Amino acid sequence: LTAFSNEEKYLNTLISLSIVKAREYYDSRPTDSEVIEYLLDYISETGYTVDTGIFTLFPFYNNRSIMQVLWDVAKSCGGFLFTDRLGKFVYRNSTYFIGNTPIDLFDRTTFSLIEMLYPDFNLAKRVTVTGDTITVDASTELFNAGNTYTIPPNETLEIEVELSDPVYELLSITYDANSYSGTDISADISYTSVDNADNLVLTFTSVNSGYCVISNLVVTGRPLNFTSFKVVKNSLESFWSDRSNSDLITNIRGTFLSDEGVANAIAELILNSQQLPSASFKIRDFIYDGPLELLDMITIFDNKITSAALDIIITKLEYGYSAESGIRLNLEGIETTNLYPY
């Protein structure tokens, strides 16, 4: 039996940002939770758990996997998106661990093996976060067809228009419709439009008995202007004073960040969680009657490797079953002491 998580269902579900939604995003600057809830509603997911949003952003997407968009929203804001044991989506914001209470205390009586490591893959002495400041420009020409399009008698024709810039407001779509002899037959031509933020899909319909030539197709509107920025935070911890490892750098492409102040806060948050080493644990044959989920916090104690009980956050869960031992699970986690040292 091979099983997949609920995310797999939506990897090939594509979504594009409409002009109406782009304008809404620009005007309201939604939080991470508001965007995630909208996207989960879009794919008709129910019963999800979404933490209160902290950071504002402007998500821009065109013909992209909706799962990738969801992951990018979470990543841009330092959060975590996943599905739980029941396949329900869960979003934890970037401060979820602060003030969290451990579920229970576990020791050697509840697991057979524990390993402790101090890896450097989650360390960073410098964090860089990038994004784009977004403004609305004045009305301009966004598309001007340099060619003509022909509609057969009583037929339809679909034209995909790639706009020069993403659009905040669409102002006009103009064109000429003539017969081969040059007669104006625009009264016999209509169109519908799917208005995406950076492209339009125009479907022209002709009720004329002759061929129709569409020419001088022009689109005007108010475009969105993207100006990139970068925020850099360097660790001041004495831990780094005698270490020169230049590889321990975290670069976050805040795909949907549009506010430099927000990027600065996220950079500070990420640096505070990664500038000091944290112990990682692998625990085998873990026995627990209650349910455990990713990012749950538990307390562990083993006097062979630590002198005091430690709180860890679960980062990986593997369930197994055998007739002899029943349900067993393996888990991995990271100790919390240095994650948010403030």
Average confidence (pLDDT) per 10 residues, the chain, 342 residues? 82 95 95 97 96 94 94 91 92 86 87 84 82 95 95 97 94 97 96 95 97 97 94 78 61 79 90 83 84 89 85 88 75 83 46
pLDDT digits (tens, 9 = 90+) for 88-144: 999 999 888 887 889 888 888 888 888 888 877 777 888 889 999 999 999 999 999
- C-alpha closest to that of 175 among 145, 154, 151, 196: 145
The pLDDT of residue 21 is 96
pLDDT digits (tens, 9 = 90+) for 293-328: 889 999 998 888 888 899 999 999 888 777 776 777
The pLDDT of residue 240 is 66
CB neighbour list of residue 253: distance below 8 Å, 6 or more residues apart: 130
The pLDDT of residue 24 is 96
- C-alpha closest to that of 328 among 292, 277, 300: 292
Answer for the pair 258, 131: CB distance below 8 angstroms, yes or no.
yes
The pLDDT of residue 342 is 41
Rounded to two decimals, the pTM is 0.86
The pLDDT of residue 253 is 66
Instruction: Give the position of tokens 């509840």.
Output: 110
The pLDDT of residue 275 is 82
- C-alpha closest to that of 313 among 108, 99, 51, 74: 99
- C-alpha closest to that of 223 among 162, 134, 137, 163: 137
User: Helices (DSSP H) in the chain: which residue ranges?
Assistant: 19-28, 32-42, 66-76, 260-274
